[in-house]
Amino acid sequence: MKVDYTVSCYDKHARDYDLYQSAVVPGYQEMLDLAAEACKRYLPQNARIIDLGCGTGNAALAVLRKMPSARVYLIDGSGRMVQVAAEKISCAYPKAILGCKVADIAKSDWDEGIDGLGQAGEGYNAIVSTLVLEHLPFDLYKSAIAKCYRLLKPGGWLLAAEGYSQAGSDMQEWFIEEMEERRKTVDPQLSEFVARLRSERETHYYASKAEKEEWWRRAGFVQVNVLWQYLCIALMVGRKPM
C-alpha cells in the first residue's frame, strides 16, 4: 500500500533526517516554533500532548522547550523514527514521555490503547502533527482527524502543519525551487540519498486550505484558522468545543 511506502522512506533515513530537514526544508524550524508558541499560549500547565507522526520528535521537543511541564505521547509509523524521537526527548526531558507507539495512522486502530476520552482515559489537551497528514488520502485524512477529535479533551486543540495546493498559485513550485537551492548546502551524498528516497517512495495528497478547513469544521472543530504559512506550508489550528 502506498501509505506504508511513505513510512518506509522515513524508516530508511531516520538517523539522517534532522540534518537534511533543517537545512533543506524552508521555514521548518519557524513552523515548529510557532506550533510550540501556540501550545504555550493555548494550553494549561502539565498539558498532555500527542505528537502525531512525530518523526525524530522535533515538534514535541519545540513544545517542551517552551513548556517544560508538558508531557508528550509519540506516535509514528516508523519504528526507527519513534526510537530516535524517544532517545532525543528522554535525554533532554527525562519525565516528559507519556508513551510511544508505532502505528500507521491510515489504519483504523492507530488510536487503540492511547488513553483517549471515551475509553475511560483522560484525553489530551492537544495533538500536534507537523508535515504528516498530507501523506493520507483524503478519506483516511478525514478518519484521522475524526479520531483526533475523539482523543482530545473538551477545549483541546489540533495543530497541524501541512503542504497545501492553491489553484492559480505557483507556491508549490517556488517551495521546491527553494529546496533545490538549499540542497546544495548539504553533503552531496546525504542530499542525493534522501532526495532520491523521498522522490521514489513518498506520496502526498494536497488540497486547498479552504477544503481542509471545511473538513475540520465537519469533524466538529471550531476556531479553525491558519496561524502561519510559508509558501505552500501552513499551520492550521482548530479547537474541540468546551
Q: What are the residues binding ligand SAM (CB under 6 A)?
A: 3, 6-7, 10, 21, 53-55, 58-59, 76-78, 81, 104-106, 130-132, 135
Of residues 222, 231, 229, the one with CA closest to residue 35 = 229
The least distance separating ligand SAM from the CB of residue 130, rounded to whole angstroms, comes to 3
Burial class of residue 84 (count of CB atoms within 10 Å of its CB; 0-12, 13-18, 19+): buried
Is the Cβ of residue 83 or residue 155 nearer to ligand SAM in the bound state?
83
Is the Cβ of residue 104 or residue 111 nearer to ligand SAM in the bound state?
104
Cell representation of residue 152: 482530545
Pairing of strands 233-239, 222-230: antiparallel
The least distance separating ligand SAM from the CB of residue 22, rounded to whole angstroms, comes to 9
The least distance separating ligand SAM from the CB of residue 113, rounded to whole angstroms, comes to 16
Cβ–Cβ < 8 Å for 73, 55: no
Is the Cβ of residue 155 or residue 172 nearer to ligand SAM in the bound state?
172
The least distance separating ligand SAM from the CB of residue 118, rounded to whole angstroms, comes to 22
- Cα distances (Å, whole numbers) of residue 160 to 52, 59, 134: 9, 11, 10
Which residue, judged by CB position, is nearest to ligand SAM in the bound state? 55
Q: What is the CA radius of gyration of the chain?
A: 17
The least distance separating ligand SAM from the CB of residue 241, rounded to whole angstroms, comes to 26
Of residues 44, 100, 39, the one with CA closest to residue 73 = 100
Is the Cβ of residue 61 or residue 167 nearer to ligand SAM in the bound state?
61
Is the Cβ of residue 100 or residue 105 nearer to ligand SAM in the bound state?
105
